[in-house]
Structure 1
Amino acid sequence: MSHDVRAWLEDLGLGRFAETFAENGIDLDLLSELNNEDLKDLGITRLADRKRLLKAIAGLMRATHLTAIPSPSTSEGERRQLTVMFCDLVDSTALSSTLDPEQMRDLLLAYQATCALVIDRYDGHLAKYLGDGLLVYFGLPRAHEDDAQRAVSAGLDIVEAIALLNRDLFRKVGVELAVRLGVHTGLVVAGEMGAVGAREEMAIVGETPNVAARLQSLAAPNALVISSSTQRLVGGLFSYEDMGVHQLKGVARPMQAWRVTGERLTESRFEALHPGRPFPLIGREEEVNFLLRRWERANQGDGQVVLLCGEPGIGKSRIAEALIERIADLPHIRLRCQCSAYFATSALYPFARQFVQAAGFLPTDPPAIKLNKLKQVLAESGQAVPEIASLFAGLLSIPVASHYPRLELTAESLKQRTVTALVDRVLGLAARKPVLIVVEDAHWIDPSSADVVAAAMDRVRDSRVLILITYRPDYIPPWSGPHLTMLTLNRLGHSQAADMIGALAAAKAPPAEIIQQIIAKADGVPLFIEELTKAVLEAGLADDETGCERSGELRLSVPMTLQDALVARLDRTAGTKEVAQVAAVLGREFSEALLTAVFPPNRDALTEALDALVQAGLLLRRGSPPQTNYVFKHALVQDAAYGTLLLTSRQQLHAHTADVLERQFPEIAEAQPELLAHHCAAAGLYDRAISYWQRSATRARERSNYVEAEQVLTAAVALVPQLSEEARKRTELDLQMALGAVYRAIRGSGSPQTELTYRRARALCEEVGDADRLLEVIYGQFVGAFNRPKLHDAERYAREFMEIAQQDHNASALKVAEYLIGSTAFLLGDLVRARQHLEDSLRLDSADRMHVNRYSHGQYPTFPLTYLAWTMFALGFPTQGQTLAGEAIAVARDRSEFYYAMALSNDCYLHHMCGDCTAVETNIATLVDLAAKRGIVVFHAVARLFEGWTRAIRGAPEDGIDLMHDALARIAATEQKVEHPYKRSILAETCLRAGQWSEAEKQLDEALRLVRSTDERWYEAELHRLAAELALAKGDSVSAELKFERALTLSTAQSARMWELRAATGLARLWREAGRINEARNLLAPVLGSFTEGLDTRDFIEAKAILDEVT
């Protein structure tokens, strides 16, 4: 009787039935088969006992269903790259008509035996005799790294063997045989098939055998034809004749065919080195010495950064390891930050991961223990203060409870403080000892971690720090600096590759021909050289007798990928393949705890399999129990192992992994929702995957990591078509809304992506009848039209928004509607109406302006305050305008760095219009930093525009004008087209003052053209006034007077008293010079008299001085 059944019964309080179960042979496997009648037969008479047992059995079966994983195995099948040969006897029908049946039988047996001997020599598998044809597998049941080449060599040898056989046949029966052969390499599913009693253990499914048979039919007698896929694998090992492209029967796509004319001999040049040495570093001394020199400079306080670039498998990690080995005995501190493809959208993942390793967190540690460990780590860098500890506790998702103060920071401030603290940690450690930071696989780095690296690079220049960053060539690193050096790894040359093979093989060096073939196959990639050499050694081909005997027969193929070599090694390492496959599902790096939970066979067997994989060089082990982690030595190894799984097995394993993470590792599910999303998506659990992507996006947006948010939301949107019809529209609406807000933050409100996203969201809103979400969408559409600017479209969206808000009596939406109408009216030049609506908007919101209005995507009330400030200034109330602008900045500063930057940018407009150079300079200092950090091009460009203006004012007009030209070009390249006439006027006025009249005229002409094309008229009067000043500078007083009068007419019509004052001042100055004193006085006096505030402004003082002169 199973002890498990006894324990199970005792747990149920039914242990008295244990002996009955034992006597009747009932174990766990049979429990699911028991029903009510069976329990009666066992003598369980009480109904309650039977009910309790049946209920417990049902629960046990559900639990078994959840925890039992599909163990990927050859019996279930697996995906393999297989080379298939089809060999057919030519004209066998004619032979059978001329020979006695017994003679024919003997002939066929001789033919089959001859072929079988050759096939066996190349370790092929003769799968089927199909009449007078043979179906042969190369790579099943045991794979080799050179299966394609084995098949082609065997085919050529069969032709030669049949020629030898013909001598005997002709002598005995007077006939000669001829064969046709076809070979193709492709993907198959291999495993058991067939009904009970007729099982076929190594059947294959796929078009590969059919293609091989069809290629055979193209061959001439005693010829071998191969496909392009096989030809690519064997490459230059053979000579070929191009047979052109053929449409093969039963094959959808046309296929290129090649006739193999013979083997191409290669020259041997290399010998082996001594045995017993570890994996050697060959051909990289120059690179390692370079790194050591950079380390010495860093030791002397001259901080260094090295970017180490190379293709996968080229040896980047090995070189980093060599540096670590060389300085192991020297005093230093090492920080190793491993980026991950799974966490490329997880902000600061490599640094958080390094922190967890440094602190030695255990899964069983309660928060208090983790905080103590964290404090110890921080003490090493002099950061053991409550505020920093609380900051890092947040990064590591450790609840602080009452241990540390809760940081009341905006998401952007939290992110920046975290970045700064991480860099401070490096500098604190460097004050104790030299620091080596290795950032591995930066091609998977998340944007926030890239920001940390950038900040660290900037601050370590005078510190004892070397930063070594490895990445692949398809990644363009965003970092630069005078202390940064880029180092690109090239492939090894032939002699270096031979040295490496010799060092790996040592005394068991393969024959020279095999060495040559490894070199040809590896193409100078150290990973390929390493793995192929080990595969040859494990296959026993380096033995003196066996190797020499077979070296002339074996031809290693040139691999397209590492898949063949990995499968070959897994096939030869008993009991590890399934473990490697499951581990590949978990990721490049995985914990033994997670693997054990996902793949729960005998623990000792699992440990032995992991040990074997480590011994074989496929895995690296880090840490010690219970915190043992494993890493696939190379990402390609993981990919290859993953590729052998059946698609259904992959899905089941990903689903099971997601379930295990949710149930047994909730802290991972909480901190890394993108990891759960990955597994759910791969499992076909699309609704769960989308839910986790949404969680990940929310986390990213809360920390202002908009780039990461875009990535995960885009991934989620791609899964929407997989959902049911009922869930599809609602889910996509949620995603499109979130994506629209993200696009607005990083690409601009007027970008095509933003417009298309909101257009799609609107269609979805209307389909599902969601009026409340429709308001948010219309707001997004309004902002896009507003910023392009398509002002009449914006006005239409604003009216739509108002109508819905009024119909629904939605007070929150009504104040936004007033703002939309008012801001549009401002741009159109209807300043009085703009003031009315903007004031109404803020009046409705006066109770709580710090509240985030859901319909305005965070822009309310900063924007209505800003536009009312500009409106009041233009209307002649500059003091009120300054007050409103200050309030806008205060609100934005507390909301987020993004909106703070936007408010500062807008505030520069007002200070420029006031002529306050100092205030503009103050804003710029902060704005440049915020815009650069957030990566917002338009804000950065606006800051540079105003910086150019301040430089010109401070006496450097040429530098200022150059900077302004560059800034305007950058602004024009963005999707933010609104307020461009005003921005061009700033350059025009600066050029006018610098005497660059032609450029000033060009900028004013373009600004007025934009006014006409967009109807953005709020600054139109000022453009005409500046044109008048330009005409006056040129000595054309007649034209100047007309332009001043045009400016007056426009400003008066708009009630824009500030623009009216400026135009009147300019015209009065002109008339004064012409002796028209009374006209000048009569023009200027009433305009000045209308002002009730701003009497100390530059414009008022200048106008008052002229009026005094003409009075």
Structure 2
Amino acid sequence: MSHDVGAWLEHLGLGRYAETFAQSGVDFDLLPDLSNSDLKDLGIARLGDRKRLLRAIAALMRTKPLAAIPPSTSEAERRQLTVMFCDLVDSTALSSTVDPEQLRELLLAYQAACVAVIDRYDGHLAKYLGDGLLVYFGLPRAHEDDAQRAVSAGLDIVEAVVLLNRDLSKKFGIELSVRLAVHTGLVVAGEMGAGGAREEMAIVGETPNVAARLQSLAAPNALVISSSTQRLVAGFFTYEDIGVHQLKGVARPVQAWRVTGERLTESRFEALHPGRPFPLIGREEEVNLLLRRWEQVNQGEGQVVLLCGEPGIGKSRIAEALIERIADLPHARLRCQCSAYFANSALYPFARQLIQAAGFLPTDPPAIKLNKLEQMLTESGQAVPENASLFAGLLSIPVASHYPRLELTAETLKQRTATALVDRMLGLATRKPVLIVVEDAHWIDASSADLIAAAMDRVQDSRVLILITYRPDYVPPWSGRPHLTMLTLNRLSPAQAADMVGAFAATEALPAEIIQQIVAKADGVPLFIEELTKAVLEAGLADGETTSGRAGRLQLSVPVTLQDALVARLDRTAGTKEVAQVAAVLGREFSEALLTAVLPPKRDALTAALDALVHAGLLFRRGLPPQNNYVFKHALVQDAAYGTLLFTTRQQLHARTADVLEQQFPEIAEAEPQLLAHHYAAAGIYDRAIAYWQRSGTRARERSNYVEAEHAFTAAVALVPQLPDQARKRTELDLQMSLGAVYRALRGSGSLQTEISYRRARALCEEIGDADRLLEVMYGQFVGAFNRPKLHDAELYASEFMEVAQIDQNASALKVAEYLIGSTAFLLGDLVRGRQHLEESLRVDNVDHGRVNRYSHGQYPTWPLTYLAWTMFVLGFPNQGHALAAEAIAASRKGSEFYYAMALSNGCYLHHMCGDCAAVEANVARLLDLAAKKGVVFRAQMRLFEGWTRACRGAPEGGIELMRDALAKLVATEQKVEHPYKRSILAEICLQAGRWSEAEEQLGEGLRLVRATDERWYEAELHRLSAELALAEGDKVNAEVKFRRALTLATAQSARMWELRAAKGLARLWREAGKIDEARALLAPVLGSFTEGFDTRDLIEGRALLDELA
């Protein structure tokens, strides 16, 4: 009974008093306290109504309390179910015109006709609802084509009723009509009810209600289906669109179709996951191609084959066929399995392969694992100490003092590990040919993809074949290599499919008509063929059992989707389903030890269940007892088993799995925090999930695996709203700070993602009142604005930072604040003020260097030294500028590899401004390897300088193209700081190469950016280069105007280096015009103002020109 007073009153026919009760605050629990006087006070004047209410209240008091719902003794499941609702037309009128005895006989005949049809299609008559029938297709046992069965049954019931009417018309003078509807949807199915009214196969969900409401849309003797059913059976019937309808009690409108009849079916199945059919039929051409590539490998010509195909098309079977064909030949084989769980775990497939190759056992202590690792390395001809240390780090094996400590940065460690993995492949190849199979590359992690690219480039002259399988929706990043073959699998022809059916059937002789039906339904997909043939064999429809009824049933047993086929297979493996469901929670691959810990039945029972699942083709077994590992035949087999679990059951199993991993398998918990995060998140234990995602992200970031780190931190942030209020803000603040740092490294400080992370972090800091973390956040916001560049926003952030530092009298923060103000002033062209603040920043002492490092995100002192170096050069102190730049690089070596790389990159600016091609070239050479691992901004910047060095070395065309491409990539990012300067680099080379229109384009864009952003430190140089362009084009008047503009700007900024360059250009122009005295008077004082840098190109050229003017 509802505990809603309004509903209770409606039930009594007194709903008009509901508002009165509500306004008076009378809840259900107060009803027993009400008296006749109380009811009068409520305004219930009618005596009869008060008496009815008092009687109903008394009945409530005699009613026992509702019993708690007992736990189900038969576990419920989530299933896709097709429901048919069948009802007689005008049955009420029939009961008033026909004698009850005759009516009973008539209804029994009607029911018998319907049940005969339902039985024929193996449906389940769930309930008689008066003169209606509720029928399930897919429960208690699923079929691959339940929707088609339901629709066919509906049409046959109409025919059966029409045939029945012949007898009814003669006997009773009556003809019956029926309305039918079919709908397919999700239900929860299982035992429900209490006491003697328990129902074994009850269903809960919207699906039966939709079917019942759809029935009202059907005309007499007609069948209506929903769009969800129509999509599953589209090719098998003809239809009439009867529109979209808003059904009572159904939230969303439903598209309805009237089924007008059957038609010759046209199969359109698509496989859902790779299969491994026993016979190999119709794939000889593909296998022979692989064997030819293997022959080339044996001749020392390394090969790569990319094998693409839709799920279930046979990629894995072809790989297995190659393995079988070369099994007796000397070779080494490395199988690397990518995983959906570990798509963001760096080098996971290779780490997993190392564990298998080394033969690790779960019980092995670290020392034993290291011994096995050393043995494996010896066999591949690799140096043991260093490589063992690298691989031990990858596998999270503690080395203690076993090997010398590797003093490497995270990025170098990652690169060295990847190189060692490739070296292992090549080392094995020196002894015998090597086959490397990388399966399911559509789930590959970014670091493994990079490793494969590196391996591909190195195996060309080695005895190595790399075979990679992937799905069509994945775009492999490895194409374009001369030793690479791309192979796409097509479906089998009808003749080939028929041969495959015969091979599967083996000694069982199937009738030709059944084989034809399987071929038509399978549509050339080997996995579908396999599943259909097994279903036929298990149903016993072999030789001698080909009656029309049995054959007709078979045509409906073909799977419409792989999901249905796999659920049917699970239903057929009696007694093993719970094991398959629990295993599905563990993952695609699982150990028997973990399964036993999570689901601890009797050992013999578990082993028998696993044996049955292997025998049924749902699992593969690897290894020997007691270290058995099992693999779901494909990920979609796992998905099908997992999908049948209730959400609550899933949560409980994920929670138990996480708990077992932590307590009984701590080495897995330590090595694979993302796995624990997955289980805890699925269990709804969000604080633990977030903690493990944080651990995973931090580890990835420390190893410079920024893509994996981004995934981990983003996953953690997504779970934050699930936390209690008191923990939410502090946790999200930590995550947003980490995510902001990752975005800066991956996409640049000026990226929108970086801005969003720091903006959110600032709001959290202010809500929490954490002033210390607020400084870190403000620094992040400053860097974002600085790099976009929104320099006046950056000024505001710098001022706010200074204000907080001064209020708190925080010397560490003051040191950073001076740098922020100084670097912004530099970009704005206020060079003198910029110098003052930058020098003051370096002078501030009595600071906590740890806090300085934290406030500046590790950028101090590299960045202030860099900007001061540029400032001093432009102000006319090149020697001091170079000294400061060298100091910046030296300081960066003490930090991460990322900041060292940035210091070298920043050094390129100064060397370029000095015209020192050799120095830029040296820095670029040191940076190219690093650039491949950094974000797009860093890589493009390196390519820009690389193009400039090429042009300086006499290859302007190639250099210009490289620079244009680099600039295009930079423009596509949100980090646009220093773009006027970068435009000028290309403009100057175009000017020297005579490509004047391109030079004009770049200079014009550079000046536009100056106006748009107020980044003016290089503005004078842009005007000077524009003057040089005008001079090259013969426009001396315009050239003089632009030289004067450059000179005025430089003088105003105290930018003596730019002033000198503008003065040299204008002096040359005046010399040609015969204005020697004016030229000398212009140039001499500028040169005389310099106190250092006399050996630089600018001053040497200036002195030479002044001598010519003497």
- Asked whether the two chains share a fold, i.e. TM above 0.5, the reply is yes
Distance 2:150 2:1096 in 1: 91
The equivalent residue for 1:830 is: 830
Other-structure match for 2:898: 898
Q: 3-state SS of the aligned residue for 1:460? A: helix
Distance change >3 Å, CA 892–CA 311, structure 1 → 2: farther
Any idea what SS the aligned residue of 2:333 has? strand
Cross-structure match for 2:762: 762
Deviation at 1:194, TM superposition (A): 0.8
2:277, 2:317 within 8 Å by CA — same for their partners in 1? Answer: no
Listed as ranges, the matches of 1:914-953 within 5 Å are 914-934=914-934, 936-953=935-952
Cα distance in 2 between the residues matched to 1:755 and 1:356: 41
Indicate if the aligned counterparts of 1:901 and 1:939 stay in contact, CA closer than 8 A.
no
- SS for the counterpart of 1:84 is strand
- Per the alignment, do residues 1047 and 153 of structure 1 end up closer, same or farther by CA in structure 2, a change over 3 Å counting? closer
Superposition RMSD in Å: 2.3
Higher mean Cα deviation, 423-432 or 241-250? 241-250
- Once the two structures are TM-superposed, the CA of residue 852 in structure 1 deviates from its matched residue by 7.6
Question: 1:542 deviation in Å?
Answer: 2.9
2:221 corresponds to 1:225: no
Which stretch of structure 1 is more off in the superposition, 208-217 or 1082-1091? 1082-1091
Per-residue CA shift, 1:905-961, capped at 9, x if unaligned? 211111111111111111122223221233x22223222322332233222333333
Give the corresponding residue for 1:701. 701
Higher relative contact order, structure no. (Cα contacts within 8 Å, ≥ 6 residues apart) = 1
Match of 1:992 in 2: 991
User: What is the deviation of 1:988?
Assistant: 2.3
State whether residues 693 and 716 of structure 2, in contact with CA within 8 Å, keep that contact through their aligned partners in structure 1: yes
Q: What is the aligned partner in structure 1 of residue 748 from structure 2?
A: 748
Partner secondary structure for residue 551 of structure 1 = helix
Measure the CA separation in 2 of the matches of 1:991 and 1:563.
61
Cross-structure match for 1:434: 433
CA distance in 2, matches of 1:952, 1:286: 50
Match of 1:518 in 2: 518
Q: What's the TM-score, normalizing by structure 2?
A: 0.90
Opposite residue 406 of structure 1, the aligned amino acid is R
Secondary structure in 2 matching 1:188: strand
CA distance, structure 2, for counterparts of residue 451 and residue 1002 of structure 1: 37
Paired residue type of 1:343: F
Q: Separation in 1 of the partners of 2:994 and 2:146?
A: 79
Following the alignment from structure 2 to structure 1, what is the Cα–Cα distance between the partners of residues 139 and 1025?
84
How do 1:682-721 and structure 2 match up within 5 A?
682-721=682-721
1:800 and 2:804 correspond: no
Change beyond 3 A, Cα 1:1067–1:257: closer
Unpaired runs of 5+ residues, structure 1, are 1-70, 269-276
1:949-990 CA-to-partner distances (Å, cap 9, x unmatched) read 223322233333333333222222222211112122222222
Say if 2:970 is the partner of 1:963: no
Are residues 1:211 and 2:176 paired?
A: no
User: Relative to 1, partners in 2 of residues 1:185 and 1:616: Cα closer, same or farther, differing over 3 Å?
Assistant: same
Residues 237 and 265 of structure 2 are in contact (CA less than 8 Å); yes or no, is this contact kept in structure 1?
A: no
For residue 152 of structure 1, report the CA deviation from its aligned partner.
2.4
Tell me the distance in 2 between the aligned counterparts of 1:1081 and 1:553: 105
1:323 paired to 2:318: no
Q: 1:811 to 1:561 in 2, by over 3 A?
A: farther
**1:821 paired residue number:** 821
What TM-score, normalized to structure 1? 0.90
- Tell me, in whole angstroms, the C-alpha distance in 2 between the residues paired with 1:618 and 1:73: 28
Amino acid of the structure 2 residue aligned with 1:588: R
Query: Taking structure 1 as reference, are residues 1110 and 571 closer, same or farther at Cα in structure 2, changes over 3 Å only?
Result: closer
Alignment partner of 1:608: what SS? helix
Residue 543 (structure 1) shift: 5.1
* CA distance in structure 2 between the partners assigned to 1:248 and 1:94 by the alignment: 25
Taking a change above 3 Å as real, the CA distance of residues 1086 and 188 of structure 1, as seen in their structure-2 partners, is: same
For residues 566 and 207 of structure 1, the distance between their equivalents in structure 2, rounded to whole angstroms, comes to: 24
User: 2:568 aligned with 1:556, yes or no?
Assistant: no
Change (3 A) 1:156 1:762: same
| Counterpart Cα distance in 2 of 1:73 and 1:381 | 57
Shift of residue 848, structure 1, vs aligned partner: 9.8
Match of 1:473, SS state, is coil
Partner amino acid, structure 2, of 1:1066: G
Instruction: Give the drift of 1:752.
Output: 1.6
Worse overlay, 256-265 or 305-314? 256-265
Aligned length: 1032
Mapped to 1, the partners of 2:288 and 2:955 lie a distance apart of 48
Q: 1:1001 to 1:150 in 2, by over 3 A?
A: closer
Alignment of 1:662 onto 2:665: no
> For the residues of structure 2 that align with 1:251 and 1:564, how far apart are their CA atoms?
26
- Number of the residue aligned with 2:357: 358
Higher mean Cα deviation, 450-459 or 475-484?
A: 475-484
| 2:297–2:462 CA contact under 8 A, matched in 1 | yes
* Aligned equivalents of 2:330, 2:174: Cα separation in 1: 82
Amino acid at match of 1:114: A
Partner of 1:404: 403
Q: Which moved more, 1:304-313 or 1:348-357?
A: 304-313
Could you say if the C-alpha distance between residues 915 and 652 of structure 1 is closer, same or farther in structure 2, counting changes exceeding 3 Å? Answer: same
> Residues 810 and 167 of structure 1: is their aligned pair in 2 closer, same or farther, counting only changes over 3 Å?
same
- The Cα of 1:522 is off from its aligned counterpart by 3.0
Secondary structure in 1 matching 2:882: helix
Q: CA deviation at 1:581?
A: 0.7
Partner of 1:980: 979
Q: CA deviation at 1:91?
A: 2.7
Q: Does 1:724 align with 2:724?
A: yes
Q: In the alignment, is the contact (CA less than 8 A) between 1:266 and 1:516 conserved in 2? A: no
- Offset of residue 301 of structure 1: 0.8
Output the amino acid matched with 1:788.
R
- In structure 2, do the counterparts of structure 1 residues 400 and 73 end up closer, same or farther at CA, with 3 Å as the change threshold? farther
Report matched runs for 1:733-744 at 5 Å.
Answer: 733-744=733-744
Which range is displaced more, 818-827 or 539-548? 539-548
Aligned to 1:783: 783
One-letter amino acid matched to 1:997: W
Task: Give the counterpart letter for 2:1091 in structure 1.
Answer: T
Question: What is the match of residue 649 of structure 1?
Answer: 649
Partner of 1:286 in structure 2? 285
Q: Do the aligned residues in 2 keep the contact of 1:234 with 1:558 (CA within 8 Å)? A: no
Change (3 A) 1:1036 1:257: closer
**Residue 479 (structure 2) pairs with residue 487 (structure 1):** no
Note if contact 1:576-1:613 (Cα within 8 Å) is conserved in structure 2: yes
Rounded to whole Å, the distance in 2 between the matches of 1:72 and 1:621 is 35
Q: Percent identity?
A: 85
Q: In 2, are the aligned partners of 1:510 and 1:547 still within 8 Å (CA)?
A: no
Which residue in 2 is equivalent to 1:11? Answer: none
Deviation digits for residues 860-890 of structure 1, max 9, x if unmatched?
2221111111111112221121122122223
Deviates more, 1:951-960 or 1:427-436: 951-960
Compare 230-239 and 453-462 and name the one that shifted more: 230-239
Return the alpha-carbon distance in structure 2 between the equivalents of residues 267 and 600 of structure 1.
47
Cα distance between partner residues in 2 of 1:550 and 1:1029: 91
Deviation of 1:333 after TM superposition, in Å, equals 0.4
User: What amino acid does structure 2 have at the position aligned with 1:984?
Assistant: R
Q: Return closer, same or farther for 1:530/1:615 CA change in 2, 3 Å cut-off.
A: same
Q: Residues 565, 967 of structure 1: CA spacing in aligned structure 2 closer, same or farther, 3 A cutoff?
A: closer
**C-alpha deviation, 1:626, in angstroms:** 2.2
What is the letter of the counterpart of residue 278 of structure 2? F
> Is the Cα–Cα contact under 8 Å of residues 892 and 903 in structure 2 kept in the other structure?
yes
The 1:407/1:547 distance shift into structure 2, 3 A limit, reads: farther
Residues in 2 aligned to 1:916 and 1:876: alpha-carbon distance in whole angstroms: 17
Deviation at 1:806, TM superposition (A): 2.0
Q: Counterpart of 1:1089 in structure 2: which amino acid?
A: G
Deviation of residue 498 (structure 1)? 2.2
User: Which secondary structure state, in structure 1, belongs to the residue aligned with residue 75 of structure 2?
Assistant: coil
Task: Tell me if the contact between 2:811 and 2:847 (Cα under 8 Å) persists in the aligned partners.
Answer: no
2: CA distance between counterparts of 1:214 and 1:620? 45
Q: 1:225 to 1:836 in 2, by over 3 A?
A: same
The CA distance in 1 between the partners of 2:277 and 2:1055, in whole Å, is 82
SS at match of 1:983: helix
**Structure 2 counterpart SS, 1:544:** coil
Deviation at 1:857, TM superposition (A): 1.9
Amino acid at match of 1:500: M
Q: Corresponding residue for 1:20?
A: none
Give the C-alpha shift of residue 1109 in structure 1.
Answer: 3.2
Letter in 1 for 2:967: L
| Cα 1:254/1:1069, change in 2 over 3 Å | closer
Q: Where does 1:991-1030 land on structure 2 (aligned, <5 Å)?
A: 991-1030=990-1029
Q: Distance in 1 between matches of 2:593 and 2:512?
A: 45
